[in-house]
Amino acid sequence: MEMAITFHNSSFKSPFINPSSNPKPKFLFPTQLSGLISSPLSSFNSKTTCLKFGSRTFTKPVKCSISQAAQPAIEKRSQLKRRSDIRNIAIVAHVDHGKTTLVDAMLKQSKVFRDNQFVQERVMDSNDLERERGITILSKNTSITYKDTKINIIDTPGHSDFGGEVERILNMVEGVLLVVDSVEGPMPQTRFVLKKALEFGHAVVVVVNKIDRPSARPDFVINSTFELFIELNASDEQCDFQAIYASGIKGKAGLSADNLAEDLGPLFESIIRCIPGPHIDKDGALQMLATNIEYDEHKGRIAIGRLHAGVLLKGMEVRVCTSEDSCRYARISELFVYEKFSKTPVERVEAGDICAVCGIEDIQIGETIADKAFGKPLPAIKVEEPTVKMAFSINTSPFVGREGKYVTSRNLRDRLYRELERNLAMRVEDGETADTFIVSGRGTLHITILIENMRREGYEFMVGPPKVINKKVADKLLEPYEIATVEVPEEHMGAVVELLGRRRGQMIDMQGVGAEGTTLLKYKIPTRGLLGLRNAILTASRGTAILNTIFDSYGPWAGDIVTRDQGSLVAFEDGSSTSYAIASSQERGQMFIGPGTEVYKGQIVGIHQRPGDLSLNVCKKKAATNVRSNKEQTVVLDTPLDYSLDDCIEYIQEDELVEVTPSSIRMCKNPKFAAAKKSR
């Protein structure tokens, strides 16, 4: 099979194809020729690159990717200037590809911390929930200085549910570091963040991370990434990306996988060389888009964003605009820039830099801080629509008010609407009753993180099962579909394939990964089919499978999907559970509770081993008679299942609820459904 590739742009160096070694064409890029480079990157001239082949030396100008699509019009560009002493970059990647660890290494090598200072691992994940789960949830700003150039770095979340956070951050930067795992290659979230970056016209530097893994396959990863650029209709300049090979945990990087420098010098040089400085109108009217919001107990709301034009001064009178017609006036009380790992107060910020502004109490994300006299608003931030919704309601269980501080519908309403100020990808609507609210998000995890945060703040409430948000187009019912990738050992592949098939999944691709006998399955599956899938896949693969998903598109309704085959064991009465009752109850299924646990009527205490629910009396005590014919028997109880908040939300069905309090998570039957059944 022959393949012809044509590049219309003369500046793009066409890939080399080696047909003799492999029947499949292998793409090699100008950035991959770095193995032939004899001098380290730190000694490069910023304008030329010297390639030495034997005794001959060739010098070619370095051309890095900047899309012309996003450049301002020619007339406007005559007024704009590039600021060469600043670079604004976002680090984007799929979850667990090593973004935060790479930022750690960049901070350490730029001497942000003292040599004798204790620095915890993943220092950018400052939130307790982020540390517990090992994921980045909120984007964080920091900066380093390299060779008199300030580099503003924004660490972004890798999970697809927090894609709205990434979309906002891309408004602040001119380029991205696309971090890709050296074994897994481009994953679903890699595609999503790259698509958004290319739409903005940002320059892209590809970092192949974890290059020290035993089964690393850098050539495959670079080729797959190049194919992804082509699929996403990248321009020729963007396809000619710079590739850097790195080990974030060791703090090493290089232009070739086999020849890493002792530090991250090659990475820093690539950022300076390939990512352009901000385009600014220094003498124009002040314009700054509020891209992120922080809250401080002493300073109040803090707006974070990049200054697009003009100069911002401490104490300055400004206009805050939402649109041409809606504006109000405010005064800047304090002004900060990001220096190293902290905010530094300053008197003045010039266009192109990222800063934090205090003094505007009611500032919202997407509003423009503009010049008082001549200011005009910048285009508003747009994020993709949510796909999953859940019902939040006040706690109606007999244990209400025992553990929580905020229990009323007013408390719940205020907290949910306050979340909208920061979380642009979330929606909140009033429900059917005054004490019910419908919360919509990008995925189950997106809403679960909100539930966990509220729980830690002292709120007590109930949540219903997640439901997908359907659409009707031309009288046809459409539902959201997602791309699911499952990494599973070959011996468990059959069980996983069967499980995905039952949930209306359609296989798109299947390939072997690395030398560990692992298979990568790629499915297109309705979002409904993913609800409760994570635990089922872990059970089917004995805990070895890794599931990743990302929203794909809306498609035709796939039909009914059965997500749970087993019913629930439900408590028969209020009281305290006993070991005597649990000993007989555990024959009916797996229990969630142990002896001595307070339960109430309607609480779910276990999983029934058959379809349909079963009511049990888990509070029954042994009859205390004076008959001593039978001696006391030793009771052996099984260890109860310990379900987390995520597990409980995956488990519950249409007629069940999760009761969330600061110290407990319980499941119960929804009393409204029970009343409806009785009335029939």
SS3 220: helix
Backbone φ, ψ for residue 212 (5° rounding): -85, 5
Mean pLDDT, all residues of the chain: 79
Q: How far apart are CA 253 and CA 261, in angstroms?
A: 6
Domain 81-277 has CATH 3.40.50.620: no
Chain centroid to CA 19:
40
Pairing of strands 354-358, 334-339: antiparallel
392-416 burial, b if ≥16 CB within 10 A, otherwise e? bbbbebebbeeebebbebebbbebb
Choose the CATH number for 473-556 among 3.30.70.240, 3.50.50.60, 1.10.520.10, 3.40.190.10: 3.30.70.240
The domain spans of the chain are 81-277, 281-370, 473-556, 568-621+636-652
Beta-bridge partner residues of 594: none
SS3 582: helix
Q: What is the pLDDT of residue 665?
A: 92
Report the chain (680 residues): mean pLDDT per 10 consecutive residues.
Answer: 42 40 42 39 39 36 44 45 84 81 80 51 54 67 84 80 78 88 84 85 90 87 90 86 88 87 88 86 84 80 86 88 78 86 84 88 84 82 82 91 89 89 83 90 87 91 91 87 87 89 89 75 89 83 83 85 84 89 88 90 90 88 64 74 88 90 90 63
Q: Which CATH superfamily is domain 568-621+636-652 in?
A: bipa protein (2.40.50.250)
8 Å CB contact between 350 and 311? yes
Backbone φ, ψ for residue 219 (5° rounding): -65, -45
SS3 490: helix
Q: How far apart are CA 127 and CA 136, in angstroms?
A: 9
SS3 296: strand
8 Å CB contact between 575 and 519? no
8 Å CB contact between 665 and 659? yes
Which helix (H) or strand (E) is 677 found in, with range?
helix 671-679
Q: How far is CA 92 from CA 96, 158, 305, 593, 624, in A?
A: 11, 7, 18, 42, 66
Closest by CA to 272, choosing from 126, 64, 574, 420, is 64
Other C-beta atoms within 10 Å of 112: how many?
20
Beta-bridge partner residues of 142: 153
Pairing of strands 604-608, 568-571: antiparallel
Q: What is the pLDDT of residue 132?
A: 63
Q: What is the pLDDT of residue 680?
A: 52
Q: CA angle 129-135-138, nearest 5°?
A: 70
Look-up: residue for tokens 């001696």?
631
Q: How far apart are CA 465 and CA 631, in angstroms?
A: 47
Pairing of strands 242-247, 203-209: parallel
Q: What is the pLDDT of residue 64?
A: 56
Q: What is the pTM of this model?
A: 0.72
Choose the CATH number for 281-370 among 2.60.120.650, 3.30.420.40, 2.160.10.10, 2.40.30.10: 2.40.30.10
Q: Which residues contact 296 (CB under 8 A, 6 or more apart)?
A: 302, 358
Angle between helices 218-231 and 188-200 (to 10 degrees): 50
8 Å CB contact between 488 and 496? yes
Q: How far apart are CA 663 and CA 415, in angstroms?
A: 19
Q: What are 174-221's pLDDT values in tens digits? A: 889 899 988 888 887 788 888 888 888 888 999 999 888 888 888 989
Task: Tell me the HSE value of 641 on the side-chain side, using a 13 A CA sphere.
Answer: 21
Q: What is the pLDDT of residue 112?
A: 56
Q: What is the pLDDT of residue 438?
A: 93
8 Å CB contact between 591 and 569? yes
